[in-house]
Amino acid sequence: MAADHVSLRRNNLSVVLRHVRAAGPRSRARIAADTGLNKATVSSLVAELVERGLLREGQAEIERGALGRPGQLVELDGSSVCGVGAEINVDYLAVAALDLSGGVVLEHRVPLDVAHQDPSTTLDRLADLIREAVAAVDARGGQTAGVTLAVPGLVQSATGSLKLAPNLGWNEVPVVDEMRARLGDPAYPFRVDNEANLAALAEYSELKKDTGNQADDLVLLTGAIGVGGGVVSDGHLLRGGHGFSGEVGHMPVAPAGRTCGCGRTGCWETVVGLTTLLNKATDADDPVRDPSLDVERRLAEITRRAEAGDARTLGALADVGTWLGIGGAILVNILNPDVLVLGGYFASLGPWLQEPLESAIRDRVIAPEGGGCRVVQSELGFAAAVRGGAQISLDQVFLDPTLIGRDATGVAQ
C-alpha cells in the first residue's frame, strides 16, 4: 500500500513496458506523449528496461515522410524472458511457453487418460513436460519468469492446493508442493489456477490484441464433458472469496432434464456438455460416441456432418446452442460482460451454436440491446488455458519489471 521512490519507479517502469505491449513499437517521444510522462523520464525508464532485457532498440528507424528527426523505435524484447503454462485435463497434458512479446516458443500436448491414472504418475509425466519447456526457454537464452498450472477443478491459490477435481477424480492434492518437489524446488514461481480462469485471461489478452481497447468485461465458457466459466471483470480475474468462482456447470436450468454426475437433475452441464450433444446427435452404436476416441477427432466428424447438412446433427447443435443461451443469459444478467467467449468444444462448433445462442440470450436479457454483449468464438480453443498460464506469469513481469535482471529483487513467489 504505502509507496516510496522505489515503488514509484517500479510503477513507471511498468507503465512504459505495458504501453509498449498494448500500443506496439514506439519512439521514446511518442511514449512520453502517450503516457504523460516527461521525455527525459521516459528515456531513463527505457534505458533501465533495455538493460534488464525487457525492451530493445528497434531495427527499423521509423516511418518515412514525417517531418523532423526520426525517432528510434523501442519494442518488446522477446528473447530474454518467457512464461510457461501447463495443463492437466481429463484426457491430455499440455505445456506452452510464450515470450514477452506473446510469441509461442513451444507448445506441446500429449494425450493421457488422467482419470484412470494415479495422480502421482500424472504429475511425473507433467514434470517431464515442464522440464522440457523450461529447457527450450534456456536453449533460447531466456529466463523462465514462472510456471502456472491449469487444472479443471477448485483451486486454493494461496496454498497451491487442488481441493476438488471431479472430472479427474482428484481430491485434496497439494499440486504446487508435489510439482515443486518433482522439479527440484526451482527458482521461478510455480502457481496453480483454475483452467477456466486462465483460459479467460488468455481470451482477454487476445481480445485486447484485436480490439485495441474497450471491453474489460468478459465471460468465457469452456465446453468439455463439464462446463466451466471464467470471468474477467474490469480487467481483473474474478476469483471469489475462496477462489472457487465460475462454477457455472451446475446451475439448475433444466429441471426436467437428465441426472447429473453431481447427483442433482437439470444441471447446465447435462444439457450442453459434449456427451449430451453426442447422445442427441447420434445413435448408441455410432462410432463417434466411442469415448476412447480423441476428442478433436470426434469433433471433426460432427463438424463434417454439420457441414454436410445432416438434419439430426444440426438439430442437436441448435438444441445445445439454445440451452447455452438460456444459461448464458443468467451470466449476462448477473455479470453484464462486453463479450461472451465460446471456448473449448463450443469454439469448434461455434458456427452452428452461435445463432440459436444469441437469439436465446436476446430473449432473456434485461438490459437494453442485449446488454451490448457480443458472442464470439475462441480462436485459441483448447489451447486457451495453457496460454493463459504462460500469460499470467508474464503479467507479473509487466506489473513489476524489476523482478527481472540487474538487481532482481528476488523472483518472489
Partner DNA sequence: TACTTAGTTTGTTGGCTCAACAGACAAAGT
Partner DNA sequence: ACTTTGTCTGTTGAGCCAACAAACTAAGTA
Q: Which residues of the shown chain bind a second copy in the complex (CB under 8 A)?
A: 1-5, 8, 11-12, 15, 35-37, 154, 163-164, 215-217, 229, 231, 233-234, 236, 238-253, 255-256, 262, 264, 326, 329-331, 333-339, 363-364, 366-368, 371-373
DSSP characters over 52-77: TTSEEE-SS---TT-SSSPPPPEEE-
Provide the 3-class DSSP secondary structure of residue 293.
coil
Of 51, 61, 286, 379, the one binding DNA by CB under 7 A: 61
Long-range contacts from 73-78, C-beta under 8 angstroms, 24+ separation: 73/25, 73/26, 73/27, 74/20, 74/25, 74/26, 74/27, 74/28, 74/31, 74/46, 74/50, 75/20, 75/24, 75/25, 75/101, 76/17, 76/20, 76/21, 76/100, 76/101, 77/50, 77/53, 77/101, 78/103
Distance of closest approach, residue 252 Cβ to a second copy, in angstroms: 7
CB 148 within 8 A of CB 390: yes
Least CB distance to a second copy at residue 239 (A): 7
The residues in 6-35 that bind DNA, with binding defined as CB under 7 A, are: 6, 8-9, 12, 27-30
C-alpha 17 chain-centroid distance:
21
Using CB distances below 5 to 8 A depending on partner kind, what does residue 118 bind out of DNA, a second copy, none?
none
Taking contact as CB under 7 A, which single stretch among the options 45-53, 269-277, 372-380, 405-413 is the one that binds DNA?
45-53
Minimum CB separation of residue 396 from DNA in Å reads: 19
Q: Of these partners, DNA, a second copy, none, which one is at the site of residue 85 (CB under 5 to 8 Å by kind)?
A: none
Q: Which of 164, 151, 153 shows the shortest CA–CA distance to 89?
A: 151
Q: Which does 68 bind (CB under 5 to 8 A by kind): DNA, a second copy, none?
A: DNA
Least Cβ distance, residue 2 to DNA (angstroms) = 6
- Provide the 10 A C-beta neighbour count for residue 255: 8
Q: Does 187 bind DNA (CB under 7 A)?
A: no
256 binds DNA (CB under 7 A): no
Q: How large is the angle between the packed helices 119-139 and 175-182, nearest 10 degrees?
A: 60
d(CA 227, CA 195): 11
70 binds, among DNA, a second copy, none (CB under 5 to 8 A by kind): DNA
61 makes contact, choosing from DNA, a second copy, none, with CB < 5 to 8 Å by partner type, with DNA
The smaller minimum CB distance to DNA, of residues 348 and 402, is found at: 402
Q: Is 264 in the site for DNA (CB under 7 A)?
A: no
Nearer to a second copy, 15 or 149 (CB): 15
Residues 6+ apart with CB under 8 A from 145: 81, 82, 83, 188, 393, 394, 396, 397, 403, 404, 411
Q: Is 67 in the site for DNA (CB under 7 A)?
A: yes
Q: Which candidate, 218, 222, 226, 248, places its Cα nearest to that of 326?
A: 248
Residue 368, contacted partner among DNA, a second copy, none, CB below 5-8 A by kind:
a second copy
Binding mask 190-229 for DNA (x = CB under 7 A): ----------------------------------------
Query: How many angstroms separate the CA atoms of 34 and 391, rounded?
Result: 25
Contact 142, 104 (CB under 8 A): no
Number of continuous H segments (helices) and E segments (strands) in the chain? 13, 15
Q: Which residues does residue 76 pair with via DSSP β-bridges, in sequence order?
A: 55
Q: How far is the CB of 93 from a second copy (least distance, A)?
A: 24
Closer Cβ to a second copy, 20 or 84, answer by number? 20
CB of 72 to a second copy, least distance (A): 21
Give dist(CA 318, CA 316) in Å, integer: 5
Shortest separation between residue 156's beta carbon and a second copy, angstroms? 10
Residue listed under C-alpha cell 471431479: 166
User: Scanning residues 70 to 109, which ones bind DNA (CB under 7 A)?
Assistant: 70-72
**Which residue from 112, 142, 155 is spatially nearest to 389, judged by alpha carbons?**
155
Residue 287 lies near DNA (rule: CB under 7 A):
no
Closer residue to a second copy, CB minimum distance, 83 or 249 = 249
Contact footprint for DNA (CB under 7 A): 2-6, 8-9, 12, 27-30, 36-41, 43-47, 61, 64-72
